[in-house]
A and B are shown apart, each in its own frame.
Chain A
């Protein structure tokens, strides 16, 4: 999106209008922090130490750092939500989720690009929840749904009255780095968006790795992030603010708002 600013101008304009509307709603909701369900792109975690789920508890996060040149957006550090992150980690472990932890994360497009458009001020604390979506074997979509449900209960039982927004990034369909790189499956994307619009997110949680790989590509595995957010608000109907299958961005790009 940001790396090729001149590509697909009409689709770009329509999708950015959707993100602008999402930003307007996000500001109107007055969140005190944002929990972002995102996936590493093999920058923080390599095969020598690769968590299924990881909580970012650092006081700040790079978003982006070295990737700024490629992404063509400014290098910056965004605030973390350390106390909330440490509490989520501890209570998650207590609840039976074997979460990993990182005090120092460097984000690429996963956090940097959505934050660039939705939170350009860089003042809203971000608590990242990372799911391995890129180096199989991956955690099941059902587990991500269950984790999202736990995060909702965690938020509800916090002692303060902070307002919390959840953001998921990644997906929808894309084939990346594989022999048919650039393929997009708009039919599957629209089915995914339709299930969310109907409040049937649990259907996505029932998908298998094989089904996602076939219909959404290896990049489609990133919808685990979306599924976690849907698991936090089961039955809530989503409003699709934008959808564009953008060949130049290699991805079916969707923006969906859920209000609770």
Chain B
């Protein structure tokens, strides 16, 4: 269940109220992620993250500045 680890990346940032525009490969070195998940994080591709199973509340929390409202 890889999206568990994708969500863990976001959860750990959300818990600390850390916002991001994108999350690069160096920041997720220790996580069990698929190449597609790593790419979506690196690109800050919110639609792709959603499609890959990232929890939308966590997407919102971490990438808040990327939303128009």
CB distance B55 to A134 under 8 Å?
Answer: yes
CB distance A179 to B47 under 8 Å?
Answer: yes
- Rounded to whole Å, the gap between the CB of A65 and the closest CB of chain B is 10
| A148-175 contact mask (Cβ, 8 Å, vs B): 1 or 0 | 0000000000000000000000000000
Q: Does B56 contact A (CB under 8 A)?
A: yes
A contacts, CB < 8 Å to B: 41-43, 46-47, 66-67, 69-70, 134-135, 176-179, 181-182, 218, 247-248, 250
CB distance A177 to B57 under 8 Å?
Answer: yes
Q: Which residues of A contact B55 (CB under 8 A)?
A: 42, 134-135, 177
B contacts, CB < 8 Å to A: 4, 7-8, 11, 14-17, 46-47, 50, 55-61, 67-69
Complex-state Cα separation, A218 to B57, whole angstroms: 9
Grouping DSSP codes into helix (H, G, I), strand (E, B) and loop, the A interface class, with mixed when no group exceeds half, is: loop
Complex-state Cα separation, A42 to B7, whole angstroms: 10
CB distance A182 to B68 under 8 Å?
Answer: yes
Complex-state Cα separation, A65 to B55, whole angstroms: 22
CB distance B57 to A182 under 8 Å?
Answer: no
- Rounded to whole Å, the gap between the CB of A255 and the closest CB of chain B is 22
CB distance A47 to B68 under 8 Å?
Answer: no
CB distance B67 to A181 under 8 Å?
Answer: yes
